[in-house]
Amino acid sequence: METILLHGISPDEFYEKIRAIIKEEMKQEQLLTREGALKMAGISNATFLRAINEGVVKPQLVKGRKRAMYLESEVLKIEKYKKKGN
């Protein structure tokens, strides 16, 4: 995280630094648990496992955690399958 000293900069420089900090924070990926991924994407466990097997979602191992985590951007790429009616 970056700090900003307010004593020696103009308002334009201040806002430019704030924009840069916000852009950097938004670039960071969020890691989700399996349950969180299922809720966020609105998919079933079978669809989620299919996406893992197809390589759309790759499990991430995080130090200190026993369960795998999944990147939010990859979870959002999972296509939802809809049942076709007769």
**Considering the domain boundaries, does residue 39 fall inside one?**
yes
Q: Which domain holds residue 73?
A: 30-79
**Considering the domain boundaries, does residue 16 fall inside one?**
no
**Considering the domain boundaries, does residue 10 fall inside one?**
no
**Considering the domain boundaries, does residue 60 fall inside one?**
yes
Q: How many domains in the chain?
A: 1
* Tens place of pLDDT per residue across the chain (86 aa): 566 666 777 888 888 888 888 777 766 678 889 999 999 888 999 999 999 999 999 998 888 888 889 988 888 888 876 666 65
Q: What's residue 50's pLDDT?
A: 92
* Alpha helices by DSSP H, the chain: 11-27, 34-41, 45-54, 72-75
**Considering the domain boundaries, does residue 41 fall inside one?**
yes
**Considering the domain boundaries, does residue 25 fall inside one?**
no
**Considering the domain boundaries, does residue 19 fall inside one?**
no
pTM given for the model: 0.60
Q: What's residue 73's pLDDT?
A: 85
